[in-house]
């Protein structure tokens, strides 16, 4: 199926875009891969890394003759990039993305292109707290899920092409509704990141900050690893998935309050029951 993809252009050649190029090359992808970067210097860097066949900073020539264009830029840059490519995008090219929020991508695409026929919104459930092409990993998508959120308008052949690409990169592809995706990811990914950032920020602004970090144990490191993620990327996710992130934060706040009350009233039975319920749920999910 990927044999029919003669050229893939990746706009935004950071961790996610460069890891896809690396994974496809490793899997023997037969087409050409073009990296579209923001500067000539990063285009040069992408070429030197040996993951792509061409690299350019000029978006129009970068997407020329592409069978698939994949956008892997931060969420709030999606619309700008779409506007840049709209005048030159061939009607036969499939446009897809790797962004973490799907409804906002669809809104952007509808506003810029009108028709969503050849547009396949996507999100690899794989990543790291590192960014940039230097962090590219040719096994990043191995055994991971990629969620596609096509609309009713999306052409079945376009979905099949994008699925084939991710499958070759080692992922398994599932389709779901964009609104559902955004709610689930708000709870499972966006809320944990918000909490990790807030946790570190809370401690970092306390007076004993040096002591706190000096004595930080493994649990603190595990829990806060994701607070090393890129602030621009996470700012954009918070703003583009605003409603769902707020709902998850509110639900968390209510549960935190329950535990706070139990501690405040020295209600040992309540504390233990909350912790036991959480532990059972975590163990059941880890055993899956």
**Residue ranges binding ligand NAD (CB under 6 A):** 12-17, 38, 72-75, 77, 80-81, 98-100, 123-124, 127-128, 131-132, 230, 233, 237
d(CA 164, CA 144): 14
Give the shortest CB-59-to-ligand NAD separation in angstroms: 8
CB atoms within 10 A of CB 220: 15
Of 144 and 270, the one with the shorter C-beta distance to ligand NAD is 144
Q: Rounded to whole angstroms, how far apart are CA atoms 145 and 231? A: 24
To ligand NAD, the closest distance from the beta carbon of 200 in angstroms equals 18
Euclidean distance between CA atoms 181 and 270, whole angstroms: 33
Burial class (CB in 10 A: 0-12, 13-18, 19+), 268: exposed
Backbone φ and ψ for 14, nearest 5 degrees, come out as -105, -150
Q: Are 153 and 34 in contact (CB under 8 A)?
A: no
**Smallest distance from the beta carbon of 205 to ligand NAD, in angstroms?**
26
Residue with Cβ nearer ligand NAD (20 or 159): 20
Is residue 102 within 8 A of residue 151, CB to CB? The reply is no
Give least dist CB 136 to ligand NAD, A. 9
Cβ proximity to ligand NAD: between 242 and 270 the closer is: 242
Shortest distance, position 113 Cβ to ligand NAD, whole Å = 17
Q: Whose Cβ is closer to ligand NAD: residue 19's or residue 154's?
A: 19
Helices (H), 76-177: 78-85, 102-113, 156-168
Q: Which helix (H) or strand (E) holds 269?
A: helix 268-287
Residue 44 CB neighbour total at 10 angstroms? 13
Question: Residue 70 Cβ, how far from ligand NAD at the closest point, in Å?
Answer: 10
Cβ-based nearer residue to ligand NAD, 55 or 72: 72
> What is d(CA 84, CA 62) in angstroms, rounded to the nearest whole number?
11
Q: Which is nearer to ligand NAD, 29 or 141 (CB)?
A: 141
Of 71 and 262, CB closest to ligand NAD: 71
Query: In a 3-state reduction of DSSP, which class is residue 158?
Result: helix
| Shortest separation between residue 14's beta carbon and ligand NAD, angstroms | 2
Which helix (DSSP H) or strand (DSSP E) does residue 180 occupy? helix 178-185
């Amino acid at each position: 199926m990927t044999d029919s993809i003669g050229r893939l252009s990746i706009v935004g050649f950071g961790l996610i875009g460069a890891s896809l190029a690396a994974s496809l090359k490793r899997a023997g992808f037969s087409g050409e891969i073009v990296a579209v970067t923001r500067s000539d210097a990063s285009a040069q860097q992408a070429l030197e890394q040996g993951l792509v066949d061409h690299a350019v900073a000029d978006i129009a020539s970068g997407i020329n003759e592409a069978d698939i264009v994949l956008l892997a830029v931060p969420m709030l840059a999606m619309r700008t990039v779409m506007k840049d490519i709209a005048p030159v995008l061939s009607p036969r090219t499939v446009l897809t993305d790797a962004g973490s929020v799907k409804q906002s991508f669809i809104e952007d695409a509808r506003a810029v292109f009108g028709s969503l026929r050849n547009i396949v919104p996507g999100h690899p459930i794989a990543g790291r707290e590192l960014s940039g092409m230097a962090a590219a990993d040719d096994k990043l998508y191995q055994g991971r899920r990629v969620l596609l959120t096509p609309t009713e308008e999306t052409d079945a052949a376009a979905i099949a092409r994008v699925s084939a690409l991710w499958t070759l990169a080692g992922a398994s592809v599932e389709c779901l509704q964009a609104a559902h995706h955004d709610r689930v990811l708000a709870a499972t990914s966006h809320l944990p990141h918000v909490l990790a950032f807030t946790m570190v920020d809370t401690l970092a602004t306390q007076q004993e900050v040096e002591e706190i970090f000096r004595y930080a144990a493994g649990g603190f490191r595990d829990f806060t690893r994701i607070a090393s993620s890129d602030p621009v990327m996470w700012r954009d996710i918070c703003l583009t998935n605003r409603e769902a992130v707020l709902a998850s934060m509110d639900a968390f706040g209510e549960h935190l309050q329950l535990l706070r009350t139990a501690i405040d009233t020295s209600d040992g039975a309540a504390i233990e029951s909350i912790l036991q319920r959480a532990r059972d749920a975590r163990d059941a999910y880890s055993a899956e």
